Amino acid sequence: GDSVTQMEGPVTLSEEAFLTINCTYTATGYPSLFWYVQYPGEGLQLLLKATKADDKGSNKGFEATYRKETTSFHLEKGSVQVSDSAVYFCALSEGGSWGKLQFGAGTQVVVTP
Amino acid sequence: DTAVSQTPKYLVTQMGNDKSIKCEQNLGHDTMYWYKQDSKKFLKIMFSYNNKELIINETVPNRFSPKSPDKAHLNLHINSLELGDSAVYFCASSRASLDSPLHFGNGTRLTVT
């Protein structure tokens, strides 16, 4: 079945460093891809999404490009802040079943001052 | 004006008890979900309802019974609680389309002792 693999954390960075979180997927069809963020004690929030190949999702300085050839959707941010400390989840939506998101295992990001 | 609200936020109970978690959304969405997040942050869908009808029912013990009295509410009742049920349970809602993002509540942390 469909699955999502993302890099293990925790990822610890200094403020203003460059962040990359790798995400690859396997899917039989053409899924939509998402990044969600979970701040401590809160539910998940949509960070960005891409619905077809070569789409780039972006929000709050984060970007991710839907790469069909490498089945990847890596998340990047050029200069992180302490407030970006959170758990980041890559997810895909399975064809024919809306809302049934397949999540990756989550990557904890810790940004230090 | 919380979009997806679930209660209680924390629930501590003993094995064998029966408990319920309530969820309400004011976004006008047709579809609601229950997700379970384990201690390693792994998220897995449990149930999904669309317009009060069950559309996703993953392999979940039948001690778990969702109930949707109307499309703005989806409650989760758990019978005969077990230690392994300890987790954070998230309610979410969305429009009924493949690339519609999920809006999550802040979670209910269930601890079974």
Give the pLDDT confidence score for residue B51 in this predicted structure.
85
φ/ψ (deg, to 5) at A96 = 80, 5
pLDDT at B85 over 90: yes
B60: contact with A, CB 8 A cutoff: no
How far is it, in rounded angstroms, from Cα B32 to Cα A72? 28
Name the band, by pLDDT with cuts 50, 70 and 90, for residue A94: confident
Q: With beta carbons under 8 A apart, name residues in chain A contacting B90.
A: 43-44
Give the CA dihedral A48, B57, A41, B96, nearest 10 degrees.
40
Contact yes or no for A15/A81 (Cβ under 8 A):
yes
pLDDT at B13 over 90: yes
Best of B99, B103, B106, B109 to substitute, by most chain A Cβ atoms within 10 angstroms, is B99
Name the band, by pLDDT with cuts 50, 70 and 90, for residue A98: low
| Nearest-CB residue to B48 (from A89, A100, A105) | A100
> pLDDT tens-digit profile of B56-69?
888 789 999 999 99
pLDDT at B74 over 90: yes
pLDDT at B50 over 90: no
How far is it, in rounded angstroms, from Cα B19 to Cα A59? 39
Give the pLDDT confidence score for residue A96 in this predicted structure.
58
Counting beta carbons within 10 angstroms of the beta carbon of residue A45, is it exposed (0 to 12), middle (13 to 18) or buried (19 or more)? middle
Name the band, by pLDDT with cuts 50, 70 and 90, for residue A99: low
Give the pLDDT confidence score for residue A8 in this predicted structure.
87
Give the pLDDT confidence score for residue B57 in this predicted structure.
82
Average pLDDT, chain A: 92
> pLDDT tens-digit profile of A48-78?
999 899 999 999 999 999 999 999 999 999 9
Q: Distances from the Cα of A8 to the Cαs of A5, B5, B19, B35, B113, in angstroms?
A: 9, 30, 34, 21, 30
Contact yes or no for B82/B57 (Cβ under 8 A):
no
Length of chain A in terms of residues written: 113
How far is it, in rounded angstroms, from Cα B63 to Cα B5? 23
φ/ψ (deg, to 5) at B84 = -70, -5
Average pLDDT over residues A22-40: 92
φ/ψ (deg, to 5) at B60 = -125, 135
Average pLDDT over residues B82-90: 96
Average pLDDT over residues B42-52: 89
Contact yes or no for A23/A75 (Cβ under 8 A):
yes
A1: contact with B, CB 8 A cutoff: no
| Nearest-CB residue to A105 (from B42, B103, B107) | B42
